[in-house]
Amino acid sequence: MASSAWPESATPISGGEQRTVRDGGNLRLIDWIWTARGEVPLPDGLSADEALDRIEPIFAEAPRTSYVREAGTLHYAKKDPAAQDTLSAFEKGTLAVDVGAAGPVVRYRLTSRILLFCFLLPLLFIGFGQITLAAGEYQKAKAEAKAKAEPEKAKKDEKKVLELHPIDKMLGAPAPEKPKDGEGGSRKRKPSATAAYVFAGFFVILYLVGRFLEPWLVRRLLRRKLSGA
């Protein structure tokens, strides 16, 4: 479903700066979190148009991708890209043929919502951990108040000693443990923020992996396309 219709959300670079990729302005200090920048050298003798001709199929053949080419520059935007789309992590971007230090290059700037989301996820999960602890405190206080109000009922809830079926005894399954003093009848686990903190840690690692892996995959894809592979 490729089209040359320019998406409203991505404005083309105007005027004399058409062959440069926007630098992100004041956001530059933090936009490395969700932005991949780089350049790939053009093979010898390849013109700007030929280079973009080789890159264009990446966008023309991808579903739910719109793009526009103008004066040595290609802008694209993706809406709900397919899971197997080679650029699914980068929903918007600009690629332009430019002059690099050692000759012509394709310079690119791609932005990724999932990288930003993954960067923020550890904070979200630390927040979940705090909520878990607060909820646990609230429930504990409520249970204590209830136990004080109805001491006889709490005594009645004491756990019975359970026994195995004769078949299980014969087969040698360990007998159930007798409930320890003060255990009561509750099977409820103590609220813990550990799971939330473990997930926060996972997302820190995943962010670091993604921040290097995804730009590397983009670079590899562009190199392959430009070399005609």
Binding site for other proteins (CB under 8 A): 63-64, 80-84, 88-89, 114, 117-118, 121, 125, 128-129, 131-132, 135, 139, 157, 160, 162-165, 167-168, 171-174, 176-177, 185, 187-189, 191, 195-196, 199, 202-203, 206, 209-210, 213-214
Output 13 or 221, the one with its CB closest to other proteins. 221
| Smallest gap from residue 40 Cβ to other proteins (A) | 21
| Smallest gap from residue 134 Cβ to other proteins (A) | 9
Output 12 or 127, the one with its CB closest to other proteins. 127
Output 20 or 132, the one with its CB closest to other proteins. 132
SS3 118: helix
How far is residue 101's CA from residue 103's CA, in Å, rounded to a whole number?
A: 6
| Smallest gap from residue 91 Cβ to other proteins (A) | 9
Residue among 99, 122, 126, 94 nearest 110 (CA): 94
Return the structure tokens found at 218.
Answer: 């983009």
| Smallest gap from residue 195 Cβ to other proteins (A) | 4
Output 49 or 168, the one with its CB closest to other proteins. 168
Output 77 or 97, the one with its CB closest to other proteins. 77
List the beta bridge partners of residue 78: 65
Output 23 or 168, the one with its CB closest to other proteins. 168
| Smallest gap from residue 130 Cβ to other proteins (A) | 11
How far is residue 88's CA from residue 81's CA, in Å, rounded to a whole number?
A: 5
| Smallest gap from residue 229 Cβ to other proteins (A) | 19
> Which pairs with CB-CB distance under 8 Å and at least 24 residues apart come from 96-103?
96/13, 96/18, 96/19, 96/20, 96/21, 96/72, 97/19, 97/42, 97/48, 97/51, 97/52, 97/72, 97/73, 98/19, 98/20, 98/21, 98/39, 100/39, 100/41, 102/41, 103/41, 103/42
